[in-house]
């Protein structure tokens, strides 16, 4: 078998939560290109139908589950096995925030904090449990975290805390589920998606953010999909419990350094 053959996922079955748009859609399409049949999930059926079309165009079969994933991971796992006969890959991608307002951590209402933990961390915990029960022949679980979970994150504290918890949970699961199941995380940097553009708003903001990235440009869903395909494939068979930061070189240290430069220049 050649090195390139190790990146193939022909005949594998994958679940990708939060795959109606953006990074989740890109991951679902990337897995389909690598040979997977993919079970996709989001709340809006219309978005999922477009994702499903892309999966089929890339040679895979798609199964839609249009529902809030919270407390529904077991159902999603059953659908995958009942429809395709097995489960090999589970990507916990669902997350973000239903609330667009930013605030300091101490000004965050308790309910908002709990909701962020539930959406960004508890769903991944439930997904990992559902996946592990059904990966009788082994498999890969991949958690989509965030660079925000690797550093202090002013004004998005609940989200960052949940993603930091996801990284710790990834390491714990990797130890507990080895050697049969590998568990890794991918932490995207700034990636241009529908939601990202909505939050970004102002003209010129993309250029300002790109200036904080050593490689000089924002990422795309395909950049994250490539990392997920690698971690799902036999090419990464000796990797577990790791977090892959896909951010153009924008580490938490680089981010803090850039912030200090901006602060110093504003004081001049």
Q: Which residues are catalytic?
A: 159
φ/ψ of residue 65, rounded to 5: -130, 95
Distances (CA, A) of 56 to 37, 47, 59, 61, 145: 9, 15, 5, 6, 27
Structure-token pair, residue 75? 């159902």
> DSSP of the chain, one letter per residue?
--TGGGG--TT-EEEESS-SSHHHHHHHHHHHHTT-EEEEEES-HHHHHHHHHHHHHTT--EEEEES--TT-HHHHHHHHHHHHS---EEEE-----S------GGGS-HHHHHHHHIIIIIHHHHHHHHHHHH-TT-EEEEEE--GGGGS--TT-HHHHHHHHHHHHHHHHHHHHHTTTEEEEEEEE-SB--HHHHHHH-STTHHHHHHTTSTTSS-B-HHHHHHHHHHHHSGGGTT--S-EEEESTT--HHHHHHHHHHHHHHHH-
Beta bridge partners of 228: none
Q: Which two tokens stand for residue 54?
A: 């892309």
d(CA 86, CA 80): 7
């Amino acid at each position: 078998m050649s090195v390139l053959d190790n990146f193939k996922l022909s005949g594998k079955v994958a679940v990708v939560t939060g795959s109606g748009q953006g990074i989740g859609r890109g991951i679902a399409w990337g897995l389909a290109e690598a040979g997977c049949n993919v079970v996709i999930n989001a709340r809006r059926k219309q978005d999922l139908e477009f994702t499903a079309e892309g999966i089929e165009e890339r040679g895979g079969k798609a199964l839609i589950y249009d529902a809030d994933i919270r407390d529904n991971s077991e159902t999603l796992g059953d659908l995958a096995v009942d429809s395709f006969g097995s489960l090999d890959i589970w990507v916990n991608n669902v997350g973000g925030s239903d609330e667009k307002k930013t605030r300091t951590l101490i000004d965050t209402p308790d309910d908002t904090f709990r909701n962020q933990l539930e959406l960004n961390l508890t769903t991944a915990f439930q997904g990992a449990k559902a996946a592990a029960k059904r990966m009788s022949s082994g498999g890969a679980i991949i958690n989509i975290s965030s660079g925000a979970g690797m550093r202090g994150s002013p004004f998005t504290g609940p989200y960052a805390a949940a993603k930091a918890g996801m990284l710790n949970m990834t390491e714990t699961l990797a130890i507990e589920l080895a050697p049969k199941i590998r568990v890794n995380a991918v932490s995207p940097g700034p990636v241009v998606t529908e939601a990202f553009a909505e939050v970004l708003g102002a003209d010129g903001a993309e250029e300002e953010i790109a200036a904080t990235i050593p490689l000089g440009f924002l990422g795309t869903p395909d950049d994250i999909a490539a990392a997920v395909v690698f971690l799902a494939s036999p090419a990464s068979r000796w990797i577990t419990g790791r977090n892959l930061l896909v951010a153009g070189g924008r580490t938490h240290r680089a981010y803090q350094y850039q912030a200090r430069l901006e602060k110093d220049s504003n004081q001049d």
